[in-house]
Amino acid sequence: MTTFDETDLFTDAFRDFRGVGDARRRSGWLTALVLVAAAALVAGGMVWVKLAQHTAALVDPQTTLAAFADPQRSVDVVAADDLAGSMIDPATTRLVAHTADTRYYAGVSRTHLLCVLAVTTGELATTSCTSTTAAGANLTVDDTMRIVTRGPAPAAADGWHEAGPQVYLKD
């Protein structure tokens, strides 16, 4: 049979910890260096994001889409409820095509992207935007409407027909 001296267990458990408090203290210079490096990384990231925003292809409405060459008419104006959340500048909207239940408007977003707003009766309006106008954009909405700023027209054999300059609808 083994017996334990309980006082020794108490002493070992709650006193006389060896090695505690002997940790090396880090240099203040090392801490300062790490903080400066972190600040530089954050600042560099912010500059990179700002430069990326400015290098996006800006839309020039006069040269991107023929519909923008004419001044905005009353049929080109979109209701504020339909534009809500789309970021499209209301002064740039142009009616480019319509079907029995959907009206398609081209517009320029506040961030200078070419956008198409599809307003379907009884449904929420949908928006599609592209920034690739410099190289030519094929902006397709719901696989039923396409705007081609440069390049070939979609094939009639695939069901597309021209609804206006640079605007095609699919049957």
Q: How far apart are CA 122 and CA 114, in angstroms?
A: 25
Q: Cα-flanking dihedrals φ and ψ of residue 123, to 5°?
A: -130, 165
Strands 102-108, 114-120: pairing is antiparallel
Q: The tokens 């095509």 sit on which residue?
A: 97
- Which pLDDT value is given to residue 105? 93
Pull the structure tokens for residue 16: 């006389």
- Which pLDDT value is given to residue 119? 92
| Residues contacting residue 97 through CB under 8 Å, at least 6 positions apart | 103, 104, 145, 163, 164, 167, 169
Amino acid code (one letter) for 7: T
Kindly give the parts of the chain with pLDDT less than 50. Answer: none
Pull the structure tokens for residue 97: 């095509």
Amino acid code (one letter) for 166: Q
3-state secondary structure of 8: helix
- Which pLDDT value is given to residue 61? 62
- Which pLDDT value is given to residue 16? 55
- Which pLDDT value is given to residue 93? 93
Q: How far apart are CA 171 and CA 162, in angstroms?
A: 11
- Give residue-wise pLDDT tens across range 125-148: 888 887 655 555 677 777 888 888
The number of residues making up the chain comes to 171
- Which pLDDT value is given to residue 103? 92
Q: How far apart are CA 65 and CA 156, in angstroms?
A: 21
